[in-house]
Amino acid sequence: MIAQATAPTRDLLARFESLGDENRLRILTLLNRNEFTVSELVAVLQLPQSTVSRHLKVLADDGWVRRRQEGKTRYYRMAGDLEPEARELWRLAEGSLTGARWIADDAERAESVLAERRDRAVAFFSESAARWDALRDELFGRDARFAALFGLLDPEWVVGDLGAGTGTLANMVAPFVKRVVAVDRSPEMLEAAAVRLGDCDNVDVRQGELESLPVDDGELDLAVLMLVLHFAVDPGRVLAEAARALAPGGRLLVLDMRAHARDEYRETMGHLWPGFTEEQMRDWAGLAGLETYRHIPLAPDPEASGPALFAATARKAACNAGEDPLTPTEHRRR
């Protein structure tokens, strides 16, 4: 009695048999390097579409190729999850093709097809350059430009959103960090923030003044003052409170207006300070015990009607003299 082949052996034999056609070898050689559509393979191989489709079906049925759908277009590529036996079989088959007459011709035509695909993308950006920013904002929203940068935050950090308002920043930061402490003096603002932050279980909303934060000493790894310092009666005290709330090595980030002469903002918007100079900010940061102060004027947004802004960063001393440097999280654990 002749023993029948087991399923794995049969699969390997089927794969071996599917390599017995030169056109299928040509297709696999191409798909091992790039993904192509059927029409692109037709152009490279110079074969009828029905022939290419038939060979692709055989290769797909035997597990050699995979496809992905993008809209109405299907892209094919050599399977990346081949079993070791199949991978070795392809290595042997590919090695035997060295010097085959069609390799160079197929590679040249494939490069032309890929260049045409790249040219279509280049043409799109050439035509869209003037309206690209607006188009991207329309598709993905303005926040998409910088939201991913929050991924650079340490996932173990506790972030203080000081002057949180309606919770816009806290809502954006929360998915990336351990906890957010959102502080604001206005009950109405915090009520709106609670609605926005309803699904965020790692945001702690607290009512309080920036000059006397309801935050423990060293509770925060990062303290953010986003366009709120000009509402403070005593900005220097606000920076000192933020420094107190920071763990050793913790960071402060301030975004606010540069000094300006628009006095009407005092009446119409309740501003207490007409922006700030670098000298003012640097002095207050020093008095608060913060170091490595940086002051960066930001380029004005052409569509913005308000004063130009600046970003400022500083850090609380990481440790006392003679101590080993620790991260803020490590200090809290100690």
Tens-digit pLDDT profile for residues 223-267: 999 999 999 999 999 999 999 999 999 999 999 999 998 888 888
Domain end (from 119, 135, 151): 135
Identify the helix (H) or strand (E) that includes residue 296.
Answer: strand 290-297
Shared domain check, 63 and 203: no
Shared domain check, 260 and 187: yes
- For the segment 324-332, the average pLDDT, to the nearest whole number, is 53
Q: pLDDT of 175-211, one tens digit each?
A: 999 999 999 998 898 899 889 988 889 999 999 999 9
Give the three-class secondary structure for 213: coil
Q: What is the pLDDT of residue 3?
A: 41
Domain count within the chain = 2
Q: What is the pLDDT of residue 11?
A: 66
132 band by pLDDT with thresholds 50, 70 and 90? low
Q: Is 113 left (phi over 0), alpha (psi -120 to 50) or beta?
A: alpha
Domain containing residue 14: CATH number: 1.10.10.10
Shared domain check, 130 and 169: no
Nearest to 82 by CA among 22, 24, 31, 20: 31
Q: pLDDT of 22-77, one tens digit each?
A: 999 999 999 998 999 999 999 999 999 999 999 999 999 888 999 998 888 899 99
Shared domain check, 261 and 129: no
Predicted TM-score (pTM) above 0.85: no
In a domain? residue 1: no
Q: pLDDT of 160-183, one tens digit each?
A: 999 998 898 999 999 999 999 999
Tokens of 91: 């290595």
